[in-house]
Structure 1
Amino acid sequence: MQLTHCGSLRRLLVPADVYRQLHAAESFAEPPPSIASWIERLAQAGMLAPRDADELAAHFESLPAQDEARLAGAGAATADAAPEPPPLARAVHVGLIGGCTLQVLTGAIQSRWRARGVAATASYSWFHAESQLSALSDACDFFVLHLFIIQELSRLFAAFQTGERAAVEQEVQRLCARVRSAVEVAARGAKGRLCVVHTLCRASVSPWGVADGSYRRALDAINAVLYDVVDRFDNVLILDEDDLLAEYGRRGVLDHPYELFAHHGYAAAGFRNEMPPWGDPRAMTRFLELSADRYLDLFDAWSGHRRLKLVVVDLDNTLWPGVCGDEGFTWEDRETGWILHPYFAGLHEALRLLAARGVMLATCSKNDRAHVLGDWTGRAEPRRSGGPLHPDEFVTHSIDWDAKGERVRRMLALLGVAARDALFIDDNPVERAEVGSSVPGLEVFDGPMHEARSFLLSHPRLQFARVSAEARTRARSMRVHLERDALRPRAESEEEFLRGLEIKLHVTRASGADVPRAAELIARTNQFNTTHERIGRDTLEALAQGGKVWCMHASDRFMPYGLTGVIVLDEAGVRLYVMSCRVLGLRPELPFLSAVLRSAGWAERRPTAVVRECPRNEPCRSVFLRAGFRPVDADTWVLEHEAELYRADPGVYEVTVGHRVDGLRES
């Protein structure tokens, strides 16, 4: 049993039978000899008080004095020394389930998340049984699991002490099954919310000596089970403790060199009421901070919150060495023979990896456009496979002699990207300052260029838990969008323009495979989103099983765009309608809506629909009016008669309703 002094939070573990005797000690004239030593330990730890003392009142009376002393010590602090944290833009509640490691994380979570504009709250529960994971609290936004408590590991360590490999293998298999089952239960019990699962740290000292690898293989086998589970559940992600410790070091954080169990310093201190001799408070604090940061990084990567959509880069001395317009540039390093100097190659690699995640790339350079693009294309074409970036891998290029700040503003408007969702990289500090002051909210990389690769690949807002097929084609679809819009002025009418695009729309009820992409579209779409209701994956999956979710796959003569439209129905009609901005130029909103209402049997049942005025959703506010609905009140619309519902022109839109097949969609 754990005894806790609630004022000081001192803790002491005692055997259960001693606890029962202590609990009854008040009735004894003299304490039994069997617990006298425990009473002495409690007294030494400051956990006992005289019978007539009002300890609670004394504790609270001491708090103002403690605060005054603390504030007096901090009185010399200035704004330069402690910058004001950003305003709290959102609140996140995390559920911590596990052992002693998670017990000491709440403070780090609150302080680190607050610095990122997040009001954090956390609830903790000790992991005692798999059943507690089957119905996780609805109050939590996501969960952190640390399953490797002493009770789970002791049998494995005992097997190593026997020296029998068969015994060790048996315990490894048992623990693997236990871990797999627990994570699977938690993944389902979370009802679509994220579960972050800690790995088991690899020991630095093997119980069978330096020549033996079975200890590390055993721990690696257990961790491999966790990574297998990630592939099966969209809502499970891994926090690899060895990755975190590689950034700061293991000594002073883990007790592997001193004890068998995978304790961390502060956790061990909690049981001993003091830091163990091997513990390093500074190293442990850093580990807790890194853990708290990683939790929020994983949650944001999974949810897509505040993800950056666009990276804009300079060219000369940023993407390649030298000035193209003067002496020209070359990919080869004359001294080493490498293709590109090391840090230039690293930046190319990072940008290509981001593009594969669905981040758009663009350039902004002071140069002669025709000369630069011609020279760049000629040098990149021979090395197209895995070599330097090609101009075609960028969505757009802004290359002229005007001030970069104004050009970046125009680029953001052209691509429909908010300044807060873009990042600018330039080797010239003067250009960085000009762009940063001209485009409020834009993030500007201000470090040395050799750190750009690491910055991009580790940036919290450039992380993706899953990358959909539609995301991988985002850059190409945006280039097509710009190319398509350039053709619009040449057509005699909008109908003629659309007719020449050979637009195909395939409409179908959502399947289980559609749910992740549909949930992503609902979470990330702001412009064509009729209510901004963020329906979670678990709810959306249940609605899809009930036939309430419909999807649209669109294509034209340029390319297929994938799943780009979602309509969610309810008992009255249309609950939510979202559509990707990449297909708005095809004007598919009315054909999709009418196809769903007719196919779902709603066209003759006076369906209603809701449109709420939300930030940035102007493109969808008139969709139901144009489809034939009439207003009921400020937010609600109704289709009085099926004959009034929009009918698509078959000469413009080829609309099919049916099942999905690989590649081409057919009815």
Structure 2
Amino acid sequence: MTETLAYHDLKRRELTRFLDYIQAYNAIKNDLPGLKKKIPGLKVAILSSFTITGIDKILQVKGLLNDIFVDVYLAPYDQYFSEILNRESGLFSFNPDIVFLFIDVARILGDLYLNPFSVPTNEFKQRMEDITNEMKKYVDILLQRLNKTIVLHNFEVPTHSPLGILDSKNQLGLFEAIEHVNGELRDFVKNKKNAYILDYDRFCSLHGKEHVMDHKMYYLGDIKLDFELFPRLCDEYMNYVRPLMGKIKKCIVLDLDNTLWGGIIGETTQASIKLGPTGEGKPYHDFQKFLLSLFNRGIILAINSKNNHDDAVQMINTHPNMVLKLKHFAALRINWNDKVNNMKEIAEELNIGTDSLVFIDDDKVNCELVASCMPEVHTIRIPEDPSNILKEMMRIDLFNVLQLTDEDLEKGSMYSAQRSRNELKAKFENYTDFLKNLEIKLVIKKGDDAQLPRLAQLTQKTNQFNMTTKRYSESDVESFIKRHDAFVLSVQVIDKFGDSGIVGEIIIIESDDAWNIDTLLLSCRVLGRNVEFKLMEHVMQKARARNIKKIIGHFIPTSKNSVARSFYEQCGFVKIKDDGNTSTYAFDLSRQQPMVVDYITILEH
């Protein structure tokens, strides 16, 4: 079997149990060296206080299912402390992009875990403070030495206390003590760039604390987590891995009938539609509330429905119990066309990849059609029992990001403004006249601490107009800002329809007579307005004012950034090198004149 066939066969497997993943790994392990060269990836280190053998294989399979090559370092058994404290350890030699620190509270409490009240309360309290400080120290060391993403498991709060129902009456009960440590660690990471808490106590509650551990395997091999939950824990890990690799979903595309409401609007009256705060309409009402909460945190909503357009729009606009209004949807495809073509049109209108879409429908045929024709789209069929809709939708973990920025919170209104731009564009025969009418302004600022979350997020999420697709953490971007031989610029776009926020970024490394562009990217939301050309004009003017002779740019092709392939050449750059992976371009400022985009204004801060 070739690497390609093995890879695609992996995606066709039905994987649920621990053994399913181990068998899948064994089927593909001989192809891993070849896949490592072909698939974008990152390094993951897992440090644990107990046996988790096999989790590395499952995480690799999970990564491949997401088109990510996850290279895993599994630290030796119960050696997390020496791995962290020893600069020459395997951990630091591996140099991971992300570290998961999984320490069991029973291990570090020792005898006090089963007999916490064998010592005076003040001594027990001091021990818990020591544990808290120890965890903080480990995180600080990892952040300082690696400057990468660190994810610390919090502690599972046990279900049993020797004091029974009196645990809550004690001055410092066992439950309260561990909950306090968890709270302290949660507050600690809030002020730490690149540090996160994986809520392991919530994970245990979700899967049932009585079922988290197989006690026989614990006593035989110090295995604190049931093997069958290894894949579920890897799902939690992938919630951090995907955003680091820019593999996140951005848009939910929704059917209408029996999805946003119960019933078929074309065959009944509004009064007969099931939608409201009570009774049979409540599941749909709650689902709309849930979708609105996602919209408010930056997830795009769109409609793909086989329906009479006017009937559906009237329902959305006038039904008294509609939570979602027309303004919440960035794109509408309410027609009788096939849903696959509608999905492609929605992606094109929103200027995002089809792999950024999640499709939700109640119809089995439509779900199977989209899933088979567009496997990159995550397709979800609405449960037949409406009471299960919200429960199933809350299980979707495809929208996680590592930062939530002001731009995310305003994204809904920004896409609404884009619909207005599209309507205006239809009135112009000449595209340049349309762009002039938009009254576009670029606000260009030097990167600073306040912008760090957004600047890092742009490198992690931007796939289309991204010349090198380098993924950077906040600390990485901060290091560029602080370097004496480099600078970072943010790009904010404003026009007559509103402020798109910070949507672009350029990182430049300086030498005596040349500027080397490390990163140049723009959000897909502003593509098509010639913003990129005005930005390059600005950079060239600044370089010339500094007596820079040459600007060097690089293009590293991916499966998604073909739209940017010819950008440097369009700006007048000349290709000077191509090693098969990276194309390098140069612009000679002593001989060439930059292109001029006179209908866009620069506001520099």
Q: Sort the TM-score into its range (normalised by shorter chain).
A: 0.7 to 0.9
Structure 2 contact 58–234 (Cα < 8 Å) conserved: yes
Instruction: Report whether the alignment pairs 1:460 with 2:397.
Output: yes
CA spacing shift, 1:454–1:329, aligned 2, 3 Å: same
**Aligned partner of 1:654 among 597, 601, 605:** 601
CA spacing shift, 1:549–1:181, aligned 2, 3 Å: same
Structure 1 contact 632–638 (Cα < 8 Å) conserved: no
Shift of 1:112: 5.4
- 2:179 corresponds in structure 1 to 220
Shift of 1:541: 1.8
Secondary structure of the residue aligned to 2:434 is: helix
**Aligned partner of 1:566 among 485, 505, 516:** 505
Counterparts of 2:277 and 2:576 in 1: how far apart (Å)?
72
Query: 150-159 vs 528-537, which deviates more?
Result: 150-159
CA spacing shift, 1:229–1:396, aligned 2, 3 Å: same
CA spacing shift, 1:98–1:372, aligned 2, 3 Å: closer
**Aligned partner of 1:203 among 158, 163, 187:** 158
CA spacing shift, 1:291–1:644, aligned 2, 3 Å: same
Instruction: Report whether the alignment pairs 1:544 with 2:544.
Output: no
Deviations 1:143-166 (A, max 9, x none): 111344667424855993345323
Counterparts of 2:462 and 2:245 in 1: how far apart (Å)?
11
Counterparts of 1:113 and 1:360 in 2: how far apart (Å)?
25
Secondary structure of the residue aligned to 1:462 is: coil
Secondary structure of the residue aligned to 2:183 is: helix
- 2:120 corresponds in structure 1 to 164
What letter is aligned with 1:121? Answer: V
What letter is aligned with 1:248? Answer: H
Counterparts of 1:106 and 1:619 in 2: how far apart (Å)?
36
Shift of 1:218: 0.5
Counterparts of 1:108 and 1:409 in 2: how far apart (Å)?
33
- 1:640 corresponds in structure 2 to 589
Structure 2 contact 264–273 (Cα < 8 Å) conserved: no
Shift of 1:111: 5.8
CA spacing shift, 1:640–1:417, aligned 2, 3 Å: closer
Instruction: Report whether the alignment pairs 1:244 with 2:203.
Output: yes
CA spacing shift, 1:400–1:175, aligned 2, 3 Å: same
Instruction: Report whether the alignment pairs 1:448 with 2:387.
Output: no
Instruction: Report whether the alignment pairs 1:555 with 2:497.
Output: no
Deviations 1:185-224 (A, max 9, x none): 3233331x22221111112222333212221110101011
CA spacing shift, 1:321–1:93, aligned 2, 3 Å: same
Deviations 1:585-604 (A, max 9, x none): 33222222232344466663
Counterparts of 2:337 and 2:575 in 1: how far apart (Å)?
48
Secondary structure of the residue aligned to 2:123 is: helix
Shift of 1:637: 1.8
- 1:393 corresponds in structure 2 to 328
- 2:523 corresponds in structure 1 to 580
**Aligned partner of 2:47 among 97, 100, 104:** 97
Give runs of aligned pairs for residues 224-235 of structure 1, distance below 5 A.
224-235=183-194
CA spacing shift, 1:617–1:432, aligned 2, 3 Å: closer
What letter is aligned with 2:356? Answer: D
Query: 361-370 vs 172-181, which deviates more?
Result: 172-181
Structure 1 contact 202–220 (Cα < 8 Å) conserved: yes
Which structure 1 residue ranges, 5 or more long, are not aligned? 1-77, 256-263, 659-667
Give runs of aligned pairs for residues 246-285 of structure 1, distance below 5 A.
246-251=205-210, 253=212, 266-270=217-221, 284-285=226-227
Counterparts of 2:297 and 2:216 in 1: how far apart (Å)?
38
CA spacing shift, 1:585–1:222, aligned 2, 3 Å: same
Shift of 1:227: 1.0
Give runs of aligned pairs for residues 118-133 of structure 1, distance below 5 A.
118=69, 120-125=71-76, 126-128=79-81, 132=85
- 2:462 corresponds in structure 1 to 525
Secondary structure of the residue aligned to 2:455 is: helix
Instruction: Report whether the alignment pairs 1:312 with 2:265.
Output: no
- 1:144 corresponds in structure 2 to 100
Deviations 1:507-560 (A, max 9, x none): 111112222222221232232222333344433221111252111111111111
Structure 1 contact 104–266 (Cα < 8 Å) conserved: no
**Aligned partner of 1:179 among 135, 138, 142:** 135
- 1:358 corresponds in structure 2 to 298
Counterparts of 2:58 and 2:568 in 1: how far apart (Å)?
48
- 1:420 corresponds in structure 2 to 355
Which has the larger Rg?
A: 1
Counterparts of 1:103 and 1:445 in 2: how far apart (Å)?
33
Secondary structure of the residue aligned to 2:129 is: helix
Normalised TM-score (structure 1): 0.74
What letter is aligned with 1:328? Answer: T
Which structure 2 residue ranges, 5 or more long, are not aligned? 1-11, 29-34, 579-583
Secondary structure of the residue aligned to 2:454 is: helix
CA spacing shift, 1:332–1:437, aligned 2, 3 Å: closer
Counterparts of 2:61 and 2:342 in 1: how far apart (Å)?
38
- 1:379 corresponds in structure 2 to 319
CA spacing shift, 1:353–1:157, aligned 2, 3 Å: same
Structure 1 contact 156–172 (Cα < 8 Å) conserved: no
- 1:41 corresponds in structure 2 to none
Structure 1 contact 133–189 (Cα < 8 Å) conserved: no
Secondary structure of the residue aligned to 2:548 is: coil
Instruction: Report whether the alignment pairs 1:297 with 2:236.
Output: no
Shift of 1:182: 2.6
- 2:31 corresponds in structure 1 to none
Secondary structure of the residue aligned to 2:521 is: strand
Structure 1 contact 113–293 (Cα < 8 Å) conserved: no
Structure 1 contact 507–657 (Cα < 8 Å) conserved: yes
Shift of 1:437: 4.2
